[in-house]
Chains A and B, each alone.
Chain A
Amino acid sequence: MNKPKIKIFLVDDHPLVREWLTNLIHQQPDLVVCGESEEAPHALQEISATKPDVAIVDITLKHGSGIELIKNLKASQPGVAIIVLSMHDERLYAERALRAGARGYIMKRETAKKVITAIRQVLAGKIYMSETLAAVFAEKFVDGRLPAGGSLVEQLSDRELETFQLLGKGYETRQVAEMMNVSMKTVQAHCAHIKEKLKLTNAAELLREAVRWQENNPAS
């Protein structure tokens, strides 16, 4: 019966949230909070030391960004399942967080009911997200907007691919035009074609897709 408890680490810059999250988690007989932190560098150290099973991370922290912390944890502590718990809009940050390596995203307004569910789900090896967000992802998938292995990217012409890569590296439209030595209009036309071919609805999505592709194909 003396099974070791599942260890959870909290990273949130708000003391009240940490305190009651701890109380809530401790109501579960098999869960224990093994440590907490309010900033990224300290959290990274502590997590390496305490080796938790799950880390609950906020995106806005006292020092450093939650997304960066997730990337670092993913690299140094691949065994830790990360759940993001944030006030920020899931439509804006969930995809980023999940791509960075998180296994779940909870918006703080729905914490109470969902935190324990999310912990159980990620422990079971599943990804946790809200139904709304799941629906958005499902729709994208059905529309073929989430290409498997970049097959859609292969349909891009050389110039379009170059535009796509430069955008992914963080250059802005004006800079892309200068670097490719073409007019702004041409870059915009390339963008329109890329959106069409990759089935992206808007420029913000195009940008995120370009960044994601660049992260997965850093050699190009």
Chain B
Amino acid sequence: MLGFVKQLENRSRFALIVLAFLIIALIGLVDYLTGYEISFSVFYLLGVALAVWYVGNQFGILVSGLSVAVWVVGDLASGARFSSPLILIWNALVLLTFYLVIVWLLARLRSLYHNLEAQVRQRTAALTDEMVERERLERELLEVSEREQRRIGQDLHDGLCQHLTGATLAGQVLEGKLAALNLPEAADASKMVELMEEGIDLSRKLAKGLYPVEMAADGLMLALEEYAATTSELFKVACRFECDSPVLIHDTATAGHLYRIAQEAVGNAIKHGKARNILIRLEVGEESTGLSIKDDGTGLPESLPKNRGIGLRIMAHRSAMIGGTFAARRDEAGGTLLTCAFRAESESSKTRREQTQN
């Protein structure tokens, strides 16, 4: 019913005016044919309602008047006779009043209805804006944390580690000097050098955690390969990395996001899915490049606890940030299949190809 109401709203004003007139004419005709003893007055309301709802109050009043006129003419034409013409006028006025009350009611109803609709639209728009804003903020948060991590990682790698290297060398020079004087403290200096070397190793590992993918284009392949190996060893699971043909990621940020997606997915598979076998795949398709992580764990539950939902959402955000699409679903064989498809073609390779073609 509501659908029908909506459908009529899409018609042109002119068509609706014509329709209202047609209805009045048709009912008038039936009223005339059925004779004056049977009252059809209530059916004119159909035309009146149509006129008010879709065209306007004034047109509704006009159609009301017209309906009364048609009714009077129809009855008279079909042979109605009254003892006094006043009775006919009285009846017509009663009917007109009735129609006008209906016109008023419908007009009010219509304005309420439209107000409500406008309000719903407004609220929906506000809500959508808020959702967009929230997603933007979430993304920004991710971007900022990623950028900061990378910066700290790089500072550790290029700044602190180099500084420690200098210190280690200084320590070794000291050790040499002490040894030349035949002093037993040379052994302490040697120990100090060792400790500082461990310090370099520790900060290197820290930097690696913050900034896992080396800058070269094949860095992601290597990083994922290494990650799969470390994970297998650390968690006693079979985590493999598969990559048939070379996949080069020229943008370090993109590579970083892909690495983090794999990391999060594998972490989830082990922690929540109790998976024994995990396969990370990186492959080039006709349209896009894809990263997928498949496991044989318990699979995604119907409703996710809040913290896991966030993990998935962050993976989706990361995908969106590299212009990719993210999907998480239960694998046919049980377990979970996460995929991120993205376009990975660098500017440089594009230009190179263009040069080749020319």
A170 on interface, CB distance cutoff 8 Å: yes
A81 nearest CB across to chain B (Å): 20
Judge whether B169 and A20 touch: CB under 8 Å.
yes
Please name all residues of chain B whose beta carbon is closer than 8 Å to the beta carbon of A1 when the two chains form the complex.
none
Judge whether A108 and B161 touch: CB under 8 Å.
yes
Judge whether B168 and A112 touch: CB under 8 Å.
yes
- A202 touches which of B161, B241, B285, B286 (Cβ 8 Å): B241
Give the docked Cα–Cα distance between A70 and B353 (Å). Answer: 28
Give the docked Cα–Cα distance between A170 and B349 (Å). Answer: 9
Judge whether A184 and B166 touch: CB under 8 Å.
no
Judge whether A207 and B169 touch: CB under 8 Å.
no
Judge whether A19 and B166 touch: CB under 8 Å.
yes
Judge whether A112 and B197 touch: CB under 8 Å.
yes
Judge whether A112 and B356 touch: CB under 8 Å.
no
Choose, from A44-52, A97-105, A121-129, A187-195, the stretch at the interface: A187-195
Give the docked Cα–Cα distance between A172 and B218 (Å). Answer: 11
Please name all residues of chain A whose beta carbon is closer than 8 Å to the beta carbon of B244 when the two chains form the complex.
188, 191-192, 203
Please name all residues of chain A whose beta carbon is closer than 8 Å to the beta carbon of B161 when the two chains form the complex.
87, 108-109
Judge whether A173 and B166 touch: CB under 8 Å.
no
Choose, from A21-29, A133-141, A145-153, the stretch at the interface: A21-29
Choose, from B61-69, B171-179, B300-308, the stretch at the interface: B171-179
Choose, from B93-101, B120-128, B245-253, B255-263, the stretch at the interface: B245-253
Judge whether B176 and A20 touch: CB under 8 Å.
no
Judge whether A111 and B168 touch: CB under 8 Å.
yes
Please name all residues of chain B whose beta carbon is closer than 8 Å to the beta carbon of A207 when the two chains form the complex.
218, 221, 246, 248
Q: B163-193, CB under 8 A of A: which get 1 and which 0?
A: 1011111111100110000000000000001
A30 nearest CB across to chain B (Å): 14
Give the docked Cα–Cα distance between A112 and B90 (Å). Answer: 117
A157 on interface, CB distance cutoff 8 Å: no
Judge whether A175 and B166 touch: CB under 8 Å.
no
Judge whether A17 and B285 touch: CB under 8 Å.
no
Give the docked Cα–Cα distance between A112 and B173 (Å). Answer: 9
Interface residues of B in 203-235 (CB under 8 A from A): 204, 214, 216, 218-219, 221-222, 225
Q: A77-98, CB under 8 A of B: which get 1 and which 0?
A: 0000000000111011000000
Q: How large is the interface on B (under 10, 10 to 19, 20 to 34, 35 or more residues)?
A: 35 or more
Judge whether A16 and B166 touch: CB under 8 Å.
yes
- A172 touches which of B193, B216, B349 (Cβ 8 Å): B349
B162 on interface, CB distance cutoff 8 Å: yes
Judge whether A203 and B353 touch: CB under 8 Å.
no
Please name all residues of chain A whose beta carbon is closer than 8 Å to the beta carbon of B204 when the two chains form the complex.
87, 109
Closest Cβ neighbor of A183 among chain B residues: B286
Judge whether A204 and B284 touch: CB under 8 Å.
no
Judge whether B349 and A188 touch: CB under 8 Å.
no
Interface of A is mostly: helix
Judge whether B285 and A89 touch: CB under 8 Å.
no
Closest Cβ neighbor of B157 among chain A residues: A87
Judge whether A21 and B169 touch: CB under 8 Å.
yes
Q: A195-211, CB under 8 A of B: which get 1 and which 0?
A: 00000001110111000
A37 on interface, CB distance cutoff 8 Å: no
Give the docked Cα–Cα distance between A48 and B345 (Å). Answer: 40
B152 nearest CB across to chain A (Å): 16
Give the docked Cα–Cα distance between A71 and B172 (Å). Answer: 31
Please name all residues of chain B whose beta carbon is closer than 8 Å to the beta carbon of A108 when the two chains form the complex.
161-162, 165, 200
A165 on interface, CB distance cutoff 8 Å: no
Please name all residues of chain B whose beta carbon is closer than 8 Å to the beta carbon of A206 when the two chains form the complex.
245-246
B182 nearest CB across to chain A (Å): 15
B26 on interface, CB distance cutoff 8 Å: no
On B, residues with C-beta under 8 Å from A are: 157-158, 161-163, 165-173, 176-177, 193, 197, 200-201, 204, 214, 216, 218-219, 221-222, 225, 241, 243-248, 282-286, 345, 349, 352-353, 356
Add 12 more A-B contacts to A188-B283, A204-B221 (CB < 8 A). Answer: A17-B169, A24-B172, A24-B173, A27-B173, A87-B204, A92-B222, A172-B349, A175-B353, A176-B245, A206-B246, A207-B246, A208-B218
